């Protein structure tokens, strides 16, 4: 009787063992883990995504025209303006600081171990180490002092800016020279090579920053001018403006300098060349 019971006991033990294995597998299945948040995985994926955005925004800014031309033409790349690309590049660059700090905190021991082992190995490859340091130092100093080939890279960026500026003028945009975009910085700065700046503008108009950066609404509000009054003054001169339109973009459509548009909004007379 006891002999016949042993196989049954063995089968029961085996069945119990299989059930334990099955339960253990269930605990580690994707279904059991799907509600758990893994911070290390999040940081790794975030770093990959932010690197891609930093590269994309860096390329976009490299190809972009100067701010003066970009605002005048309402320039966009992949449906984003230069200002938006700059925001992406800056924000994700700054986000790297807390994310990298968290990454180092969570992986402190492995990082120390890695550095200890690889630092020892690095000194075994002195030539490679010195070569890497020399290349990094060369490009860092080349960026600061504009040495070749860094100077050629930056020159290409300048040529791209010139390309967009010429293209804007060809398309009919009024793009003033860089030296006359901000004549408000000094009373003696000429608005064009042959005529002096209007001294009334430099003395009566705020000199906090360039006019082109203001929108019609922000410039009117800062100078306590009703928005509808500002729009009417512009409309009386045949300039159909929008409240949120920058004076630099409006300049490109109207053919007037941002400083002249600022004066019109304030109800000031424009100077006429003699």
pLDDT in tens, 183-198: 444 433 334 433 344 4
Distance CA(166)–CA(180), nearest Å, equals 17
**pLDDT value at residue 110:** 83
Contact 81, 75 (CB under 8 A): yes
Total Cβ atoms within 10 A of residue 26: 10
Distance CA(62)–CA(264), nearest Å, equals 35
Closest CA to 184 of 244, 258, 255, 245: 258
pLDDT in tens, 98-135: 988 888 888 888 878 877 776 666 566 678 778 889 99
Does pTM surpass 0.75? no
The two three-digit tokens of residue 150, written as one number: 């860094």
Closest CA to 182 of 257, 119, 261, 82: 257
Pairing assessment for the beta strands 76-77 and 80-81 based on DSSP bridges: antiparallel
**pLDDT value at residue 50:** 92
pLDDT in tens, 216-241: 999 999 999 999 999 999 999 999 99
- pLDDT range class, residue 31, cuts 50, 70, 90: low
**pLDDT value at residue 212:** 82
Total Cβ atoms within 10 A of residue 92: 18
């Amino acid at each position: 009787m006891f002999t016949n019971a042993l196989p049954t006991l063995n089968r029961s033990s085996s069945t119990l063992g299989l059930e334990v294995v099955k339960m253990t597998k269930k605990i580690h299945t994707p279904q059991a883990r799907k509600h758990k948040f893994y911070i290390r995985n999040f940081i790794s994926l975030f770093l990959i995504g932010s690197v891609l955005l930093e590269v994309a925004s860096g390329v976009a800014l490299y190809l972009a025209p100067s701010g003066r031309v970009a605002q005048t033409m309402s320039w966009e790349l992949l449906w984003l303006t230069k200002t938006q690309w700059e925001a992406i590049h800056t924000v994700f660059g700054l986000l790297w600081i807390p994310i990298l700090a968290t990454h180092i905190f969570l992986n402190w021991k492995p990082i120390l171990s890695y550095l200890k082992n690889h630092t020892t190995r690095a000194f075994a490859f002195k030539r490679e180490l010195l070569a890497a340091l020399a290349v990094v130092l060369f490009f860092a100093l080349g960026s600061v002092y504009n040495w070749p080939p860094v100077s050629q890279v930056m020159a290409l960026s300048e040529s791209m800016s010139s390309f967009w500026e010429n293209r804007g003028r060809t398309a009919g945009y009024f793009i003033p020279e860089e030296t006359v975009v901000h004549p408000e910085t000094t009373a003696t700065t000429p608005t064009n090579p042959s005529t002096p700046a209007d001294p009334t503008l430099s003395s009566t108009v705020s000199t906090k920053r360039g006019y082109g950066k203001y929108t019609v609404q922000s410039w009117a509000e800062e100078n306590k001018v009703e928005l509808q009054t500002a729009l009417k003054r512009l409309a009386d001169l045949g300039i159909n403006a929008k409240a949120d339109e920058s004076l630099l973009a409006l300049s490109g459509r109207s053919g007037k300098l941002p400083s002249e548009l600022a004066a019109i909004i304030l109800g000031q007379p424009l100077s006429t060349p003699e």
